[in-house]
Amino acid sequence: MELKSWVALGFLVILLWSPTCPGKNKQPSGDIMDCLNKDKNSLIVDAGFTGTLKKCCGNASKTNTAILQTTCSVSFNTSVTFNTTVTNFQKNWKDVDFWMRKVNQSHFLYMAKKYVKKNNQLSVCVMVGWNCSETLDSLRTNTTGYNREWSSVESNKTNCSVSCFRTAEHCSTSAYDKEVCKNSKKQDKFIINVTAPGSFCFNCNEPIKEPEEELPPPMIFDTGNGVHIDGEKASQAMKDIASLVSMMNESSASVTMGSVTGVIVKPKERIDIEEVSFGYSSNSGIKIVEDRKSLGGFSRSISVTKEAFEKAYNLSNGSAFAGVFRFPNMSKDVNNSTVLHNEVVAIEMGCFIANLTDNINLNFLNVQKGGAIPSCQSWNGEGSQPNWTDYGCLTLVKGDNITCKCTHLTFFAVLMSPPNQTISDGDLNSLTYITYVGCGVSMFFLGVVLFMHFLIKKAKSSNTTQILIQLFLSMFMLNVTFLTNGWVASLQSPVGCQVMAAAMHYSMLATFTWFAVEAFHLCQQLYKSGSDPIPRYIMKVCIAGWVLPGTVVITLLSLGKYGKQIINTDGGKEVYMCWILDINVHYIVNIGYYALVFLFTFTTFIVVLSWLVHLKGTKNKTKPGTDQAQQQGTGTKDIVTVMGLCCLLGITWSFAFFAHGVLKVPSFYIFTILNSFQGFFLFLYYYNTSRVIGETTKDNKTISKSSTMSVTVNTTLENPYFDLGQHHPGEPLTSKTNPQS
């Protein structure tokens, strides 16, 4: 307020605080409301009656008529008790929008927030006591015009005080006080202790409120037994929310539609429009949060801005509302995307709201991301299933907290994507080229072995050969699915991509399992020495190698864990592939399973390698004088044997464990080269050791030529599988022919 306004008020108070004419000046409550609704500064006094002051008593009445016309001057009889009816006024001060009440020695001014909202420059001067004109000189010298208190004791021992303040500024930091507000029925009210130092302002809005009433649901959703909410029905339910607003008797209401819960908030007047926040947790209903500081107590919260309400008010001819609903277990989109908490949030205001400059905020606290990348997405409600897009939404991640800032209203969700590996464009192109060449070469030679085994070979295969062929078959399937994966991903067929991802995952798990079977077979040959064979051995290992991976893949497929994944480069390039979308599933099923397989196969590799070194030492002792050329040839064969064992047992896949930090890119190249050409390496190993081309048979009961050739130390070094079942540890190796089991 300007200084001259306070000076005018000062003169007015001097004149008023002489004996007044209460009988003549008493006005009904309607005049008080009309007076306060006008953009005037206010003078509040305790003059023994209730009403507005329109005239002054005494000689100064003419002088101050203009001041009275431009100032809302109100008197309250604070000594009134409300056990009896108050003439021309409401029966209870708890129900009124504006009142002053005396409690003990303190005066409390009760003021509805709407008066402050209508005029944020509204200044109020409150005087209590009698014959206090001596203290009003301070008003004329006060340069601020508000937030000043004066008090003095007159000769008649009456205590006087004056408090002046701008209500909007004074109550901007008001706090909720349950004790002060316990007798106030209306929550949209400020209570100011005008006689306390500092004129404390209290806010009677509870920080966290329950909806005031409950409305009947437009429809019921049942998500029991894993049933998904149909997207089309969810969209229709949100459109029907507008029909419920006309049934509201209060400013807020809850709606329960089976497993779907929500809250509707409706400002009673345009002056009541302000930002509204909602908070909820996993096991609690949606609450209305008045104090933004209280939002931290909820794991999830939504804030609908004042700008959104004002747009809705203008577009709906003066009827603004906001409905916030949570939909658990919403139907999946075409990509089977993983939704945070498996929950979709919908905001409805009865009209199309977009291009907001003050964004809608959705906050998710203490999120266990598990390495996944969160992305705020929206869906416009069209179609039978969500079609998520990040248009109009910004994702902010700070530690374990996620904030979505969106410029429009619709359905919202946070999609959790597996961590995308970001590499350079050059490395991606090089790795892609190596992979395609290596997989193509491996697939060709694996196909040659399978063709020769199933169509050309006539001899009965040994157990060793049959197990090796199963490994070749699983690896051939893995190469085929990998080479065709990118093409299927580019077809934009969600079902096709899911099937491709499941097929490649099955091939990979089967390959891992056959690595373990190979290691088990080696151990059996070494320690059981071929005696006491396992009944139906091949059938049992085939069940382990083919059926168990299939069980895992079928389970994941039914849970919708497969879909399209994106690999990004630092140059902005995106490569698509069909794979597992849930990073936790990838860690547990793939990395966890291979870690167990690797532990077993690597232990077997060390044991077999030690055994080979022992045999080589035995050979050097029994055949002294070996020339240098022979030793070099043996060394080359040893390297081939070791590399063959590594490929045979899948140890080369362990380079994936080193894909971190400075070793990330080098491990990518080593992993890609060794494993894309793994089929080719196994072909060389198989050809040099099994002699599959030379296998012949005399009848169905005979075994292959390679299985009946004499055992020598040299051939044993070349092929650790060869005839291990007939050699007992500790016995000397002989040259006789031994049948293989």
Per-residue pLDDT of 357-383, as tens digits, reads 999 999 999 988 777 788 999 999 888
Most confident of 17-26, 306-315, 693-702: 306-315
Same domain (yes/no): 129, 13: yes
Q: Which of 48-52, 104-108, 325-329, 576-580 has the lowest mean pLDDT?
A: 48-52
Q: How far is CA 642 from the centre of its chain?
A: 47
Q: Which pTM was predicted?
A: 0.53
In percent, the amount of the chain with pLDDT more than 90 equals: 20
Greater confidence (597 vs 703) lies with 597
**What whole-number distance in Å separates Cα of residue 175 and Cα of residue 178?**
10
Model confidence at 610, pLDDT cuts 50, 70, 90, reads confident
Let me know: does 342 contact 329? Beta carbons within 8 Å: yes
Residue 737 within a domain = no
Domain end, chosen from 152, 171, 205, is at 205
Q: Assess whether pLDDT exceeds 50 at residue 702.
A: no
3-state secondary structure of 87: coil
Q: What is the CATH number of the domain that holds 368?
A: 2.60.220.50
Residue 239 within a domain = yes
Residue 331 within a domain = yes
Predicted pLDDT at 640: 61
End-to-end CA distance of the chain: 106
Q: What is the DSSP letter of 592?
A: I
Interval 110-129 mean pLDDT:
74
Greater confidence (241 vs 697) lies with 241
Interval 554-578 mean pLDDT:
81
Same domain (yes/no): 349, 491: no
Residue 740 within a domain = no
**What whole-number distance in Å separates Cα of residue 120 and Cα of residue 570?**
52
Q: Assess whether pLDDT exceeds 50 at residue 88.
A: no
Domain end, chosen from 375, 396, 417, is at 417
Model confidence at 140, pLDDT cuts 50, 70, 90, reads very low
Residue 741 within a domain = no
Greater confidence (337 vs 278) lies with 278
Same domain (yes/no): 408, 520: no
Predicted pLDDT at 5: 44
Predicted pLDDT at 643: 65
Predicted pLDDT at 473: 93
Q: Assess whether pLDDT exceeds 80 at residue 64.
A: no
Q: How many CA atoms lie within 13 A of 149 on its CB side?
A: 13
Greater confidence (151 vs 612) lies with 612
Same domain (yes/no): 188, 329: no
**What whole-number distance in Å separates Cα of residue 389 and Cα of residue 413?**
10
pLDDT tens-place string over residues 98-117? 778 777 777 888 877 777 77
Interval 725-739 mean pLDDT:
38
Helix, strand, coil shares of the chain as percentages rounded to 5?
A: 45, 20, 35
Same domain (yes/no): 297, 410: yes
Same domain (yes/no): 689, 559: yes
Residue 65: domain span: 3-205
Residue 557 within a domain = yes
- The token pair at 220 is 């019921």
Predicted pLDDT at 419: 63
Same domain (yes/no): 493, 541: yes
- Mean pLDDT over each residue of the chain, to the nearest integer: 74
Residue 739 within a domain = no
Predicted pLDDT at 679: 84
Greater confidence (298 vs 525) lies with 298
Residue 731 within a domain = no
Same domain (yes/no): 374, 397: yes
* Overall domain count for the chain: 3
Same domain (yes/no): 85, 144: yes
Same domain (yes/no): 482, 529: yes
Q: Assess whether pLDDT exceeds 80 at residue 149.
A: no
Predicted pLDDT at 302: 94
Predicted pLDDT at 619: 64
Same domain (yes/no): 519, 392: no
**51 beta partners:** 75
Q: What is the CATH number of the domain that holds 660?
A: 1.20.1070.10
Q: Assess whether pLDDT exceeds 60 at residue 469.
A: yes
Predicted pLDDT at 79: 67
Interval 610-622 mean pLDDT:
72
Predicted pLDDT at 231: 87
Let me know: does 199 contact 188? Beta carbons within 8 Å: no
Nearest-CA neighbor of 655 among 617, 288, 646? 646
Q: Which of 154-168, 292-306, 423-437 has the lowest mean pLDDT?
A: 154-168
3-state secondary structure of 352: coil
Order of all β-strands in the sheet with 98-103: 98-103, 106-112, 189-193, 201-203, 175-176
Q: Assess whether pLDDT exceeds 60 at residue 712.
A: no
Q: Assess whether pLDDT exceeds 70 at residue 10.
A: no
Predicted pLDDT at 345: 94
Same domain (yes/no): 362, 483: no
Model confidence at 405, pLDDT cuts 50, 70, 90, reads very high
Most confident of 156-160, 670-674, 723-727: 670-674
Domain end, chosen from 189, 205, 221, is at 205
